[in-house]
A and B are shown apart, each in its own frame.
Chain A
Amino acid sequence: NAGVTQTPKFRILKIGQSMTLQCTQDMNHNYMYWYRQDPGMGLKLIYYSVGAGITDKGEVPNGYNVSRSTTEDFPLRLELAAPSQTSVYFCASSKGPYNEQFFGPGTRLTVL
């Protein structure tokens, strides 16, 4: 039981490049989330999903897209990377809205 896994662990992008951050969970959770954490700040919600095929925006969705074709996977797509997207990205999943969220180890992204 691996929990929530994220790939890659680290990535450096040039301005304008695109990439997909991968997130997979093996706990059969319906709810999945993407957060970003900037230095010295708390986590901010980018997008969330309450089940396969259902996604919605969080607090800071601009510059990102998501899809949820299966229960297990919730990839986050960055189009036209900008320096403001330099951050650590965390994926999380939970059984329901009032259950604890389990977090992945994070992806550290730098945009230069």
Chain B
Amino acid sequence: DQQVKQNSPSLSVQEGRISILNCDYTNSMFDYFLWYKKYPAEGPTFLISISSIKDKNEDGRFTVFLNKSAKHLSLHIVPSQPGDSAVYFCAANFNAGGTSYGKLTFGQGTILTVHP
């Protein structure tokens, strides 16, 4: 049972346009969400996060939106650059009864390709 899903395996966009990556989750015990970027043969690197008490967080070209009622979050990259081409993972932090240990559940990833 996959609790965090990224239903688009890949996304291709033109340089300068907006990239929108989507993520759905099923567990209402998730209280903190993160996006990671991963290049081949490297470890994931943190991009941006959002607490479940917020619906938007922005950092430069990256904005994450959270819709708790729909259990959906999205990452917007504007404008997209060729260097953004990578695999993007969303991850959710599980909070059990007010206690969290940073136990992340990851989606399968979306391969973003930004064409010059």
Contact = CB atoms under 8 A, between A and B. Distances in A.
Interface string B1-36: 000101001000000000000000000000010101
Given A90-B44, A103-B45, A105-B42, A41 B103 contact: no
- Interface size classification for chain B: 20 to 34
A9 B93 CA distance: 28
Interface in A31-78: 31, 33, 35, 40-45, 48, 50, 56, 58-59
Nearest to A3: B43
Given A98-B93, A100-B34, A43 B102 contact: no
Interface in A80-112: 90, 92, 94, 96-106
A53 to B, nearest CB: 15
Interface of B: 4, 6, 9, 32, 34, 36, 41-46, 49, 51, 89, 91, 93, 100-109
Closest 6 pairs (CB-CB, A-B): A103-B43, A42-B106, A97-B102, A100-B46, A97-B100, A43-B106
20 contacts: A31-B102, A40-B108, A40-B109, A42-B91, A42-B107, A42-B108, A43-B44, A43-B89, A45-B103, A45-B104, A48-B103, A90-B43, A97-B101, A98-B100, A98-B102, A100-B34, A101-B46, A103-B36, A103-B44, A105-B41
